Amino acid sequence: MMQQLQESAEYLKKHIGDLAPEFGIILGTGLGALVNELEISHAISYAEIPNFPVSTVESHSGKLTFGHLAGRPVVVMQGRFHYYEGYNMDQVVFPVRVMKLLGVKKLFVSNAAGGLNPRFDTSDLMVITDHINLQPSNPLIGKNLDELGPRFPDMSDVYDEHMVREAMVIAEDAGFTVQEGVYVSVPGPMLETPAEYRYLSFIGADAVGMSTVPEVIAARHMGMPVFAVSVITDMCTPDRIKKVKLSDILEAAAIAEPRMTLLIRELVRRS
């Protein structure tokens, strides 16, 4: 695994030259417009990178884009990998581990999620303050990669409190409200039944999705501070459940995307 990670990192270093990304950004479903804020220097298809998986999700473009956001060097994943696509957890988090080898110091993650908290509404932003992992596995199972992190990493402060508080200030200054809450990650790809939504709410989740937690676990294993935000693309409370199509999710994400972009851009600027 370390040899594969190093091969990928060396390939990318040869292609990006002197650019040394300080921040890694993972863009979720319908949230790819942040790249329009970048001064792009390189855009490399996942298919060109040795050992990289290739995204199979319709709305994910599958590029690793390098450039500057708010004057700071970044690498952006346009499209992520999910367990439900048939990848194992090492493959799901492979890009995050490569980011670490490229010198990335902080990770920013976004996703589209269903809202379980009745105070939320469609197209709200929820800054993630904690998570519940209901994926069938996690990327730390198996032989530990001692070069990356410890066998038993602490998870008591997964999401960087300073960046969470800073995000609230940024939102207030910009005149919009941001929710806070717990994200639960499930395998997918099917959406949940009403009984499952009730269960997830009962165990303490405010939003549900099919990603994020594996990448976050890998990042924290490597000592990378994390900021993560969910865009609430549909409501899953008993009185507001309705049949949802991908087009509905993309439409709700598009409404929230400018606010999410502002949050991440300003956090990068202030870091």
**According to DSSP H, which parts of 203-271 are helical?**
213-221, 246-270
Domain coordinates of the chain in residue numbers? 2-270
DSSP class of residue 191 equals P
Task: Answer yes or no: are the C-beta atoms of 176 and 259 closer than 8 Å.
Answer: yes
Give the pLDDT of residue 58. Answer: 54
Give the pLDDT of residue 57. Answer: 59
- Class assignment of domain 2-270? alpha beta
Q: For each successive 10 residues of the chain (271 residues), what is the average pLDDT?
A: 96 94 92 89 94 70 91 94 94 97 97 97 97 97 96 97 97 97 97 96 98 98 98 94 88 93 96 88
Give the pLDDT of residue 61. Answer: 64
Distance separating alpha carbons of residues 106 and 223, to the nearest angstrom: 9
179's tokens: 């929710």
Pairing of strands 207-209, 106-115: antiparallel
Residues 6+ apart with CB under 8 A from 239: none
DSSP class of residue 207 equals E
3-state secondary structure of 68: strand
Residues 6+ apart with CB under 8 A from 248: 233, 234
Give the pLDDT of residue 29. Answer: 79
**According to DSSP H, which parts of 128-203 are helical?**
161-174, 194-202
Give the pLDDT of residue 75. Answer: 97
247's tokens: 């087009």
Distance separating alpha carbons of residues 61 and 68, to the nearest angstrom: 19
State yes or no: cis peptide before 189, omega within 30 of 0. Answer: yes
Give the pLDDT of residue 244. Answer: 86
